[in-house]
Structure 1
Amino acid sequence: MESRKNPPRSNTVLGFDPDGVPRAYARISKNRDGEKAHGFGCVDPQWQRRGVGSALLQWLEARTRQRFAEDAGAAGGPDAEPRLRIFIEQKHEHQAALLASSGYHVVRYFNEMHRPLAGPLPQAVLDAGLELVTMEPHLSEAVRLAHNQAFADHWGSEPRDEESWRFTVNDPLARPDLSAVVLETGTGDVAGYQLASHDPESAATRGFSEGYTELLGVRREFRGRGIAQALLADAMRRFAAAGMDKASLDVDSENPTGALALYLKMGYHPVNRSVAWDKVL
């Protein structure tokens, strides 16, 4: 499925060695009305320290300026201030040095957290009037709308339109059988959701198999009723039943809903940190 709003042909660049082997890439993603573009990139370790990363960063910045100009022209309005955001793992010091020397600054930290699945798993019971069901295709649009509501007060979050949501739920690694939705029994409204993924190939490189919670959200009017806790407990049981060693997720270190405290309470522990870097172009 090719994106109409971020078509690869105009928003991706590849670097090949003389033998035609791809060694580097960079990609831009931006919502038309978004206040920022997201940049992604990577260089084969054997080809680092040759200026390839710097060249990719220059391309990302140039394409970001173009995307903002294109979107302003399509909307018939003035040019917005171009902003590029790049996420990297904190341990990648060479990438951090490149971004810092290129005028980027750190705006946020995120924690990758793991929860071993061996041994007793937590149990959580939902309030009366709520029910937990496995994620199904007919729930997708309602979950999308619930996600936009749940994340309206989260830093850096932008509403997911139908196209970007399809990329999320139809991702090859998505596992709806390991995902769940909490519904209000009387109305059928979505109160919360947990969308999971699993990469079977990562076990070979990481040494363990993990179920990953891509998205976890609870609509504001349903918060304080233990829904997130119930969804996480359910996810752990689904992951364990599928033979996985760990439950994994990422969390904003300054999440306004107190998610970090909840994850720690349920046995998750930080194992890695990623950093969001911004530059106004």
Structure 2
Amino acid sequence: MTRNHELQPRPALDPRLLWRAAEHRDLDAWAGLIARTAAVEQPVWFERRADLEQILESKNNPVATNTILGFDPEGVARAYARITKNRDGDKANGSGCVDPEWQGSGIGTGLLGWMEQRTRARFAEDAGAADGEAAAVPRPRLRLYMEQQHEHQAALFAGSGYEIIRYYNEMHRPLNQAVPEAVLDPELELVTFGPALHEPVRLAHNSAFRDHWGSEPRDVEAWGFVVNDPQARPDLSGVVLDRSTGTVAGYQLATHDAEGAQTRGFREGYTELLGVRREFRGRGIAQVLLADAMRRFAAAGMDVASLDVDSENPTGALALYIKMGYAPVNRSMAWDKVLQPVMR
């Protein structure tokens, strides 16, 4: 049996707030907290009510144990944190925010403590489910992401023992320029993404990204978050198939944030995922998919094509994107901290 998690040091959550897990009744308050914070911090993307509805339905990361919300005496949500983890994953991902009016008083530090405690517990739970005889769980790791301009987050993470382990570039490509030439091999065909391709593309994605740093296989639930994303645009997404076998060779899955366009001042077609299976690489498939995305975005009235890329991507993606006319406009970072495990 695993030792009682209460033996771990409890995080110092601010006593001015009432703390509990998120529930369906909290949707408006939760979304309102995130929106108020985003209005001040101006992130490129943030969770909205429809995203939170998806989160509330997760079976792999149930909100009852993997979220926490802090409410002031008037019942206004002022802070939240959440972790997610794949059962076999080597890390948990953390996220959250503190109402700007309540920042600078230690609430963020308390939320980090809660995320770390919950990460240790998740690793212990998953190890117990896999092997009840194990003497100790693997070393838990918590990963946090932030945009470069959010210096207050960087100070909090660094002061709490986190280290930057990866950089990412957000890249834009104006759509008022000519689309680069890209010709598809005649043995391949380009089709529009749709429900019949949900599972084949999931399997192709897991295959294509098995050699990418930090990537973990997407199970059916995790893939559902992709294809059922409120901002998903299958009509702007393309899939390349092998004509002889029907095998998915590559894919470009797009989203569009209509609300964000109003605040950012431009309409953006965003490539959420782009991948090519190893056995099909070197045949110009990524270029074809990107050129196709640009045409689809432009026809839909978008101003720019955009995407994010790992600055150390092993496939040379950054060089490809620059060749296709994309340029960096923003940078974000991944921070990691290795935690002490819950002993058994």
- Identical columns (%): 74
Measured in 2, the distance between the counterparts of 1:25 and 1:116 equals 36
1:47-84 CA-to-partner distances (Å, cap 9, x unmatched) read 21111111111110011011011111111253111100
| CA displacement at 1:10 relative to structure 2 | 1.3
Match of 1:18 among 46, 68, 73: 73
| Alpha-carbon displacement from aligned partner over 1:215-274 (angstroms, at most 9, x marks no partner) | 000000100110000000000111111111111100000000000001001111101111
Q: Measure, in 2, the Cα distance between the counterparts of 1:9 and 1:197.
A: 29
Deviates more, 1:71-80 or 1:226-235: 71-80
Q: Distance in 1 between matches of 2:286 and 2:71?
A: 45
Q: Secondary structure at the match of 1:18?
A: coil
Q: Does 1:45 align with 2:45?
A: no
1:218 is aligned, of 264, 272, 276, to 276
Q: Structure 2 CA distance, aligned partners of 1:125 and 1:41?
A: 44
Using the alignment, how far apart are the partners of 2:106 and 2:130 within structure 1?
37
The within-5 A match list for 1:27-38 is 27-38=82-93
Equivalent position of 1:138 in the other structure: 196
Given the two structures, how large is their TM-score scaled by the length of structure 2?
0.80
- Structure 2 counterpart of 1:201, from 259, 265, 271: 259
Unmatched 5+ stretches in structure 2: 1-53, 340-344
Gaps of 5+ in 1: none
Tell me the secondary structure at the aligned position of residue 148 of structure 1.
helix
Moved more, 248-257 or 22-31: 22-31
1-10 vs 27-36, greater mean Cα deviation: 1-10
Q: Where does residue 140 of structure 2 map in the other structure?
A: 82
Aligned to 1:70: 125
CA distance in 2 between partners of 1:121 and 1:143 (Å): 25
Q: Deviation per CA, 1:102-124: give whole Å up to 9, x if none.
A: 11111110000011111322231
Residue 186 of structure 2 corresponds to: 128
Higher strand share: 1
Shift of 1:44: 2.2
Aligned match of 1:92 in 135, 146, 150?
150
State which drifts further: 141-150 or 47-56: 47-56
From 90, 109, 123, give the equivalent of 1:54.
Answer: 109
- Hey, what's the Cα distance between the residues in 2 that align with 1:114 and 1:15? 37
Residue 167 of structure 1 and its aligned partner are, at CA, apart by 1.2
State the TM-score, normalizing by the size of structure 1. Answer: 0.98
Q: How much has 1:192 moved relative to structure 2?
A: 0.1
SS of 1:55's partner is: helix
Secondary structure of 1:201 counterpart:
helix
**RMSD over equivalenced CA pairs, Å:** 1.0
1:228 to 277, 286, 294: 286
Which protein shows a greater Rg? 2
Q: What are the Cα deviations for residues 23-60 of structure 1, in whole angstroms up to 9, with x where unaligned?
A: 22111000001000000111222221111111111110
User: Between Structure 1 and Structure 2, how many residues are aligned?
Assistant: 281
Aligned equivalents of 1:49, 1:261: Cα separation in 2: 40
Q: Distance in 1 between matches of 2:104 and 2:145?
A: 20
What secondary structure, in the 3-state scheme, does the structure 2 residue paired with 1:194 have?
Answer: strand
Aligned-partner Cα distance in 2 for 1:172–1:202: 13
Query: What is aligned with 1:245?
Result: 303
Structure 1: how far apart are the matches of 2:305 and 2:91?
Answer: 31
Q: Distance in 1 between matches of 2:75 and 2:220?
A: 36
- 1:147: which partner in 2? 205
Aligned to 1:107: 165
